[in-house]
């Protein structure tokens, strides 16, 4: 069963589903673009690894840790008598680090091993303050300061978008930044009501143009993963839709018989 949404399904942003969406979509892009760029290039799946603090939203299933309050000096005693009932434990949480692995693609020239293009799909950790954003922004600046092309795919409504100059407000963005044309770049901006338009894969001058059909690839990922069996469309999306988008999505889902 296909997604009921014409473009990006906002329900796939749920933290329970997004890591799988990210993994499958990176792999699907790699498989799709490998044949047309052969034999001059090969497509490598790389990963960025870092330790980050677990966010409150990620603490589902992790038990709280408790500490006991310290008695005031006025009530301290060397007696072994039972403490009054006011000395109850306080529920708190402690920082917990987790290893994060984020996949991305590198298109490498076979003859030289040189990285021609980097393709990134943003994760929630990239779009909120912390180690994840710092690690990604550092890598992003390295690419933008080099001759390497960058394709940055943001299919997440939540969080803070990556910095660019110009552009417009949108739910989702695809940035295509050619190393030989920077700082000028192309931004594909769209909303949950739009289909994802194909975009050109930047390679070297003189190469045949390769179009990335991201909508078709995302549709394939949805179907192959059986996300229609995992999503409850009677509930609100996470993050929730607001205003006219919430009304539009409700009408769409009712038309599809999903509410």
Predicted confidence at residue 58, as pLDDT, reads 47
Residue 77, pLDDT above cutoff 50: no
% the chain with pLDDT above 70: 86
- Higher pLDDT: 72 or 175? It is 175
Do 119 and 151 touch, CB atoms closer than 8 A? yes
- Higher pLDDT: 35 or 58? It is 35
Distance CA 131, CA 38 (A): 36
80 pLDDT band (50/70/90 cuts)? low
Residue 211, pLDDT above cutoff 50: yes
Do 24 and 224 touch, CB atoms closer than 8 A? yes
Predicted confidence at residue 87, as pLDDT, reads 73
Predicted confidence at residue 94, as pLDDT, reads 78
- As a whole number, mean pLDDT of residues 92-109 equals 84
The DSSP line for 246-258 is HHHHHHHHHHTT-
Predicted confidence at residue 20, as pLDDT, reads 97
Strand partners, 102: 48
Q: Which residues, at least 6 apart from 85, have a Cβ–Cβ distance to it below 8 Å? A: none
At residue 164, φ and ψ (nearest 5 deg) are -145, 165
Burial class (CB in 10 A: 0-12, 13-18, 19+), 12: buried
Distance CA 135, CA 126 (A): 8
DSSP state of 75: G
Residue 116, pLDDT above cutoff 60: yes
Strand-strand pairing, 149-154 and 115-121: parallel
Predicted confidence at residue 59, as pLDDT, reads 39
Q: Which residues, at least 6 apart from 125, have a Cβ–Cβ distance to it below 8 Å? A: 52, 100, 102, 131, 132, 133, 136
Token pair of 248 as six digits: 């539009």
- Strand, helix or coil for residue 143: helix
- Strand, helix or coil for residue 189: strand
Distance CA 214, CA 227 (A): 17
Phi/psi zone of residue 247: left (φ > 0), alpha (ψ -120 to 50 degrees), beta?
alpha
- As a whole number, mean pLDDT of residues 190-206 equals 96
């Amino acid at each position: 069963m296909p997604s009921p949404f014409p473009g990006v399904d906002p329900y796939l942003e749920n933290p329970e589903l997004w890591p799988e969406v990210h993994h499958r979509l990176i792999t699907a892009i790699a498989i799709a673009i490998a044949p047309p760029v052969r034999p001059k290039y090969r497509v490598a799946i790389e990963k960025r690894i870092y330790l980050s603090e677990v966010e409150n939203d990620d603490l589902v299933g992790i038990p709280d840790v408790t500490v006991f309050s310290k008695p005031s000096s006025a009530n301290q005693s060397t007696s072994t008598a039972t403490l009054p009932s006011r000395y109850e434990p306080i529920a708190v949480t402690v920082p917990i680090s987790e290893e994060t692995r984020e996949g991305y693609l590198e298109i490498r020239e076979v003859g030289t091993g040189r990285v021609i293009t980097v393709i990134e799909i943003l994760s929630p950790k990239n779009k909120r303050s912390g180690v994840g954003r710092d690690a990604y922004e550092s890598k992003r600046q390295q690419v933008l300061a080099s001759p390497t092309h960058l394709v940055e795919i943001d299919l997440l409504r939540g969080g803070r978008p990556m910095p660019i100059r110009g552009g417009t407000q949108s739910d989702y963005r695809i940035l295509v930044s050619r190393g030989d044309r920077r700082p000028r770049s192309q931004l594909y901006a769209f909303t949950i009501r739009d289909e994802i338009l194909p975009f050109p894969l930047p390679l070297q001058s003189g190469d045949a143009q390769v179009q990335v059909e991201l909508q078709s690839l995302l549709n394939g990922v949805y179907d192959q993963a059986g996300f229609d069996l995992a999503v409850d469309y009677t509930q609100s999306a996470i993050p929730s839709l607001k205003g006219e988008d919430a009304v539009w999505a409700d009408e769409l889902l009712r038309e599809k018989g999903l509410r």
